[in-house]
Structure 1
């Protein structure tokens, strides 16, 4: 990408406050014009790739890895788009396939179900990000309800926030889709209730630091009881001067209270699986004056040895032999043994498709050169580390259906080719576009 010239920087540096505001206004118009152009390109891309039938229609299941999901992008009445069409567009825009799928669905929603708001984007009166916020919220509504939201919000969408948008969507659902409330409650119970553990918050730019995030979704009274049980036992004293640290360490005490709740259940401690690269000397040595010593939790990041010791206190630890990362053994079977899977997932830490960052531990291991069973004439030794690569299920299917091809180089990089003549190299430094026919 071209760097700004000295002349361009000087133009900004020489502006006084009044002129700077004028230029900022002009810059906003330029941004909206560029966004409008991108929106038009995305819509044209969708038009060029219609789905032939519902079995070949782009759905959210492709990106969310819910393989029986039939939640197609866009709302009721939006034209169907063929599956596997997000990746080529995502690559040239240097976006993830999931983000591109969202953009495609919201663009179609705007054009076909929110025409008033779409017209204001076309006239540059509304920033695309605001219009997309509405489009994302209306995709589950009926045609009539979406039209109501369009009529209510179009005159003021350039000045409202998420709360006003969500209120308009809820009012439209109540007016036009009241029977869906029961369905929504049942859907939430079946598809949304549960507990999710995350070790990273994608996009926030923060490190793991030995901290994970537990999200619980369920009926309101039950979660309120759990919340009250923890907070009531950890409430700070009425007089904050009595213990000035009480408010600061409230979160720490709440987590410890949760641990006490778990201990009070009387059940044996469950197994917690963390693969940690450390030596026995690390665990038994003297840490005095060496608080910065670290081990590495595979798939997560570094943690101090002091923290790791705290985690392992009273735990049952399984010590595994050192994995030889230079091992090249081949086997005749299709499925790799455990050591080979561990080697490949440690070597390639994520899905090796361009711009995909799904952790390798959640991926399939793909045979780069397709596996042919020996009883069908396949050669021996087809399964070995150099012929395996982690691909998330969606990109595994994408490659299997022939939409992309790839191979692994002698340097351990992956060269991918789409059907439009673009070539991408996936390296340890990221994804690079190499050439275009």
Structure 2
């Protein structure tokens, strides 16, 4: 049957009956589940081979908007060396973050959910469902102790893993209450003390960009803040309607929220000296001297559009690309942004991505920095998607600061073909481990892993034209 399906149109393939196809589908699904379970086992064993030297070199998750890190697995799981993760991810064709999740899930299941771990390897529970449980318990707030995790394991295993996300969240919440993991706060909730866990958050789901050029926000605010915000949005939406807007209420409320954000960046809130309150001052005259608050700043969007010359006129193409998440934009959307009275538009000069630019010293001038960022677009480590504008620029062949004084030629010059965008994690990986990479062509990098696998990971240059122009929205 395998050979028959491998060759479309073969006579033998046409002879497959409905029963044959169903049996084949069942076999393939069983094989897929088996492979996923094996991959969890491999990830756990890979972690066993790479313990960290100290707790400071252990792999962890960075928490966006927070000053702390989260472990990749819960209490009772072994720590894993930070830099071993990238090699596993490269072989699997996934990002370092995804590989970190895979290892964390494997350790969480093997050490804290032994019943569920056995069920995965006996085929009773698919790996994806067990990983859903692990992802929830690893990042629960507050963290589950070993005893609490064992309780969740027993409850989930009893139903052979058949539990949805909502049921799992309720089970974790009940476990937190059962094991008294959160100190009760009578003032917050005298009956259910576990509810004193602060659920407030504001999250931007920037991985999910709608084709209309929107992103989804999720927030949980205090009651007073929620009512105040709702009142302001309702008022601003009514103002827009009174001024002639024919858009729907939802759209007007969304625009009002954006207006609030843009208006707020014009104000710097600082603690009043000698008092307990706040004072608002103009961002043009205020400073943050004597405070811990950063100055208000503008939001910048980098939009690139194709353009050509028709006589003396510049003709723009119908579409463009926003650097943030490589979002495809319509020119009409860009025009609407530029029409906002509070929008400052800067047209950047055309950058030839194939030109070989150079600088005499170690520092990278802006003209070369912009060229490399536009060429690489993301961190050049295999499967990493961190935008290049948020990365370090690394000298592929290290710059020798003593070469000039010792009369030797510079082995690692500051040139286009010796610079690459690396996110901070992969920059540290290249600096502190035996991972090595070389540029085989302009923008094409070949990486060599610590185990020097036969197929070295290669980052091909993405499809691009040799010129790019930019619109900067501030």
Partner of 1:83: 82
Matched, 1:386 2:417: yes
Q: CA deviation at 1:126?
A: 0.6
Partner of 2:431: 400
Equivalent pair of 2:124/2:160 in contact (CA under 8 Å) = no
Which runs of 5 or more structure 1 residues have no equivalent in the other structure?
A: 236-245, 431-437
Q: CA deviation at 1:220?
A: 4.9
Partner of 1:428: 461
> Which of 163, 169, 172 is the equivalent residue of 1:169?
172
Give the 3-state SS of the residue equivalent to 1:319 in structure 2.
Answer: strand
Partner of 2:387: 359
- 1:57–1:168: structure 2 CA closer, same or farther, 3 Å change rule? same
Mean Cα displacement is larger for which, 71-80 or 248-257? 248-257
Partner of 1:369: 397
> Which of 285, 303, 321 is the equivalent residue of 2:349?
321
- 1:260–1:207: structure 2 CA closer, same or farther, 3 Å change rule? closer
Give the 3-state SS of the residue equivalent to 2:158 in structure 1.
Answer: coil
Render the CA deviation track for 1:202-256: whole Å, top value 9, x for unaligned.
Answer: xxxx665433444545435423542465368869xxxxxxxxxx9x945423323
Structure 1: distance between partners of 2:119 and 2:265: 61
Render the CA deviation track for 1:36-90: whole Å, top value 9, x for unaligned.
Answer: 22122112111111223212211113xx689974422211111111111111111
Q: CA deviation at 1:417?
A: 0.3
Structure 1: distance between partners of 2:259 and 2:383: 42
Q: CA deviation at 1:337?
A: 1.5
Structure 2: distance between partners of 1:111 and 1:351: 33
Which runs of 5 or more structure 2 residues have no equivalent in the other structure?
A: 186-192, 239-245, 268-282, 284-296, 464-474
Structure 1: distance between partners of 2:169 and 2:201: 21
Structure 2: distance between partners of 1:408 and 1:258: 45
- 1:335–1:184: structure 2 CA closer, same or farther, 3 Å change rule? farther
Q: After TM superposition, list the pairs within 5 Å mapping 1:199-210 onto structure 2.
A: 200-201=207-208, 209-210=212-213
Partner of 1:122: 121
Mean Cα displacement is larger for which, 34-43 or 396-405? 34-43
User: More helix by proportion, 1 or 2?
Assistant: 1
Give the 3-state SS of the residue equivalent to 2:394 in structure 1.
Answer: strand
Structure 2: distance between partners of 1:226 and 1:297: 29
- 1:42–1:310: structure 2 CA closer, same or farther, 3 Å change rule? same
Structure 2: distance between partners of 1:166 and 1:402: 39
Equivalent pair of 1:195/1:217 in contact (CA under 8 Å) = no
Equivalent pair of 1:209/1:301 in contact (CA under 8 Å) = no
Q: CA deviation at 1:103?
A: 1.0
Partner of 1:413: 444
Render the CA deviation track for 1:123-144: whole Å, top value 9, x for unaligned.
Answer: 1111111111111222231111
Partner of 1:30: 31
- 1:163–1:259: structure 2 CA closer, same or farther, 3 Å change rule? closer
Partner of 2:336: 310
Matched, 1:111 2:110: yes
TM-score between both structures, scaled by the size of structure 1? 0.78
Render the CA deviation track for 1:293-335: whole Å, top value 9, x for unaligned.
Answer: 2344445344333222221122333333333434434334333
Structure 1: distance between partners of 2:184 and 2:452: 48
Q: CA deviation at 1:18?
A: 5.2
Q: CA deviation at 1:365?
A: 0.5
> Which of 149, 154, 162 is the equivalent residue of 1:146?
149
Q: CA deviation at 1:176?
A: 1.5
Render the CA deviation track for 1:167-200: whole Å, top value 9, x for unaligned.
Answer: 11111111114336779999968xx8456483x5
Count residues with an aligned counterpart. Answer: 405
User: More strand by proportion, 1 or 2?
Assistant: 2
Q: CA deviation at 1:6?
A: 2.5
Structure 2: distance between partners of 1:197 and 1:131: 24
Equivalent pair of 1:350/1:356 in contact (CA under 8 Å) = yes
